[in-house]
Structure 1
Amino acid sequence: MQFGQALGTACSTFVVTNIDDLFVLVTFFTESSVNKNLTPLLITVGQYVGFTVIITISMIGFAVAQAIPSEPIGFLGLLPILLGVWKVLELLFPSDPEDEEEEQNIKAAGLKCVMKVAGITIMNGGDNIGTYVPLFSQVERVEIAVYIVTYYILLGVWCLLAFLILKQRHILAIAQKYAGLVVPLLYIGLGIFIIIKSHCYPWSIQEIDDEFLGDPGRAILGSMTALLLASGIATMVWIRLRKRSISRRAAADRDLEVRSKSPIGEADASKSAVGEGDAGVAGSAGQNTGDKDLISIVETKKN
């Protein structure tokens, strides 16, 4: 094994297969400027988790002679599209920030962020798998180890580079100002990019056309995609509207509770209590007066 040649091959294959990951990482770091749960550390951890899954799948593919085609993985690009639509709905149907803070658990939110970054990394890893499997099958095991170690080092460099891009003050200010609008578009664009890059639709259309007469591949895939997106968007709209309704009811309950505990509310309650007490005294006095009148009437009749 020639170490220099193996190192050069590892660097070149990483850059070729992960140049688009800079776009993905910038997307996440842009979101982290407005999302306190999505920290740079969690983004880096999620990136390493996702890349580890990609390496594992590549090793399994190498072991079973490319049993998993890289093209179908591209269909997972529909998930970032739906994620972008969800963030658009968050802008259109915002919920009470206090409710969101109460619902969030820091540990659960952190794990969720890691899994989200890892999931996007895996979805965008179809070309990685398609490159690594045949590459690993052509070299010795020692070279495979060199490749993998180099990949992990360069992955950290990639994360640092994306982070430094957004550390520029003017870039960060723009990101914080427009992140709410830009992030959904970035996710939608990322999903479209994954789908186009993977060639999953042409590959699937060809597979369907080879199995059936009349070339129904385009119609079948188009109908299934439209149905999936429509049902997903409808479900997300329903969830956002329901959360908004629950948030408004909770806000109304909180306002009522605050009013009852405020000094003005206590004063009103005291006045009500005093009023009830006065009414009770007046009622008792009236009853005593009525009893005296009744006694006098009875005595008059006796006389």
Structure 2
Amino acid sequence: MQFGTTVGEACATFAITNIDDLFVLVTFNAEAATSKVITPFRIALGQFIGFTVIIAISMIGFGISLVLPPEPIGFFGLLPILLGIWKFCHLFFPESEEHNEISTAALMKGILKVALITIMNGGDNIGTYIPLFAQVERAAIAVYVVVYYILLAVWCLAASLIMRQRHVLALVQKYIDYVIPLLYTDLGIFIIVKSGCYPWTIRQINESTASDPGRGTMAGVTTFILLAAGCAMAWATVAKRKTQSTADIDLGRTDGTPLEETVTRDADADVH
């Protein structure tokens, strides 16, 4: 094993398979600008957890590369799209600050969200690392993995520094509520398109039947999933908002605040 050559190959393969992760990390850091749950540290932690899962799958993939093709992983790109729809619903029905208490569970969900999206976006990583690890020495694999983790830390730092520019931060804080849903939706579309999961599935369906129903089947299933999930999220958001309003009114009654004043305060909060 030539150490210099191995390090160079590790840097090249990481850059090729993770250049798009800068977009993912900038998206999370943009959300962190106005969120108490998502922070740069938790973004980095979630990124490292997700990348560790990718490395573990790649290691296991020596013997099951044919059983675990990378294309179907791209279907997880639907989850960022659904997350974008969920955040879009909150533009019309925002939560009051009194109900934004941060719990340990909420913090863990923030880390888990970053980790899951990292895994979802890792189809090309797995597809590259499995054959790469299969044809090099074990010592080279160890060098690859160490270099990957070092570069991953550099990636996280670069994304955080980009968002710390004051003019960038001011612009983000002004439009963040409108941009974040679009970023997550675009991220989901990017993952799906990059993975080639739809063409791959359409071919599998067409090859298993006499006709060619793959395109229509996938279009129908995707439309149903997005519409059903969107309606469910809108209903859940409205129901949650109504529950919060009722709780605020009950709280106003118990602390001696007149009902009319409580309702007026809620109405003013909705306007602002």
Question: For the superposition of Structure 1 and Structure 2, which TM-score range results when normalised by the shorter chain?
Answer: over 0.9
Give, in whole Å, the separation in 2 of the partners of 1:46 and 1:65: 26
User: In the alignment, is the contact (CA less than 8 A) between 1:66 and 1:133 conserved in 2?
Assistant: no
Give, in whole Å, the separation in 2 of the partners of 1:177 and 1:15: 32
Q: Counterpart of 1:141 in structure 2: which amino acid?
A: R
Q: Counterpart of 1:113 in structure 2: which amino acid?
A: G
**Which residue of the partner structure matches residue 135 of structure 2?**
138
Q: Which of 228, 236, 239 is matched with 1:239 structurally?
A: 236
Counterparts of 1:215-294 in structure 2, within 5 Å, are 215-259=212-256
Q: Deviations over 1:148-205 (max 9, x none)?
A: 0100000000000001101111001111111111111000000000000000000100
Give, in whole Å, the separation in 2 of the partners of 1:60 and 1:69: 13
Q: Counterpart of 2:181 in structure 1: which amino acid?
A: P
Q: How many residues align?
A: 258
Give, in whole Å, the separation in 2 of the partners of 1:109 and 1:238: 22
TM-score of the two chains, using structure 1 as the length reference: 0.83
- Secondary structure of 1:230's counterpart equals helix
Q: Residues 184 and 260 from structure 1, CA distance in 2 versus in 1: closer, same or farther, beyond 3 angstroms?
A: closer
Q: Counterpart of 2:238 in structure 1: which amino acid?
A: L
Give, in whole Å, the separation in 2 of the partners of 1:249 and 1:203: 49
**How far off its partner does 1:87 sit?**
0.3
Q: Counterpart of 2:26 in structure 1: which amino acid?
A: V
Structure 2 segments unaligned to the other structure (5+ residues):
259-272
Q: Residues 184 and 19 from structure 1, CA distance in 2 versus in 1: closer, same or farther, beyond 3 angstroms?
A: same
Counterparts of 1:85-164 in structure 2, within 5 Å, are 85-101=85-101, 104-105=102-103, 107-164=104-161
Counterparts of 1:26-37 in structure 2, within 5 Å, are 26-37=26-37
**Which residue of the partner structure matches residue 52 of structure 1?**
52
**How far off its partner does 1:260 sit?**
5.5
Give the share of equivalent positions with the same residue, in percent. 55
**Which residue of the partner structure matches residue 14 of structure 1?**
14
Specify the structure having the higher radius of gyration (Cα): 1
- Secondary structure of 2:256's counterpart equals helix
- Secondary structure of 2:116's counterpart equals helix
Give, in whole Å, the separation in 2 of the partners of 1:255 and 1:119: 40
Q: Residues 168 and 260 from structure 1, CA distance in 2 versus in 1: closer, same or farther, beyond 3 angstroms?
A: closer
- Secondary structure of 1:259's counterpart equals coil
Give, in whole Å, the separation in 2 of the partners of 1:195 and 1:51: 19
**Which residue of the partner structure matches residue 2 of structure 1?**
2
**How far off its partner does 1:95 sit?**
2.5
Give, in whole Å, the separation in 2 of the partners of 1:151 and 1:260: 58
Q: Residues 82 and 65 from structure 1, CA distance in 2 versus in 1: closer, same or farther, beyond 3 angstroms?
A: closer
Q: Counterpart of 1:221 in structure 2: which amino acid?
A: M
- Secondary structure of 1:38's counterpart equals coil
**Which residue of the partner structure matches residue 169 of structure 1?**
166
Q: Deviations over 1:238-286 (max 9, x none)?
A: 110110110110111122223259xxxxxxxxxxxxxxxxxxxxxxxxx
Give, in whole Å, the separation in 2 of the partners of 1:155 and 1:42: 14
